[in-house]
Structure 1
Amino acid sequence: MEIAVLRLRPGQDLKQALWDWTQEHQPSAACLLSAVGSLDAVCLRLAGGDRQFQRQEPHEILSLSGTFCLDGLHLHLAIADATG
């Protein structure tokens, strides 16, 4: 088992950064165990549908986990805005 730590800089796209890491390291399978931080804007596809949730305002990451490999990413994200 190999452990990798990623640090994203302000303004970096979270999903793109994970995909770029996957392309660079080419794991047969990887899992994301934990993440902390915030996002300047969010665009999420809600589970079980095609509808998207988009907001151009800061959100705190409450939880982020998932799996990824060269076939793609499968992520679950919980966020909160200033109102909770």
Structure 2
Amino acid sequence: MLPPGYAEAAALFADREEPICFGHYHPVHFFGATAPLFLNPGSLGCNHQPLARLALVEVDDKGTLELMAAGCDNTGFLRSYDVLQVPDGS
């Protein structure tokens, strides 16, 4: 499945009035120059890098947004994919 673009996200959330919409898709996505903004900070440890991706959003008159990643030990989690034989988990 290809990741959505701005047009697809705008159509999906057309009935919403929020200035920022969060999604769940493992790759990082952030698009939109004006409201609404569409943000998916990425996977929280479910990837082949030992990183937990996150976003810090400060809702104030400045409206700051920062995409970040923190180191994490995800070896046990990834090993469970093998044990459980999760499709596309390798």
**TM-score in same-fold range (> 0.5):** no
Larger Cα-atom Rg: 2
TM-score tier after normalising by the smaller chain length: under 0.3
The TM-score normalised by the length of structure 2 is 0.25
Relative to total residues, which structure has the larger helix share, 1 or 2? 2
Relative to total residues, which structure has the larger strand share, 1 or 2? 1
The TM-score normalised by the length of structure 1 is 0.26
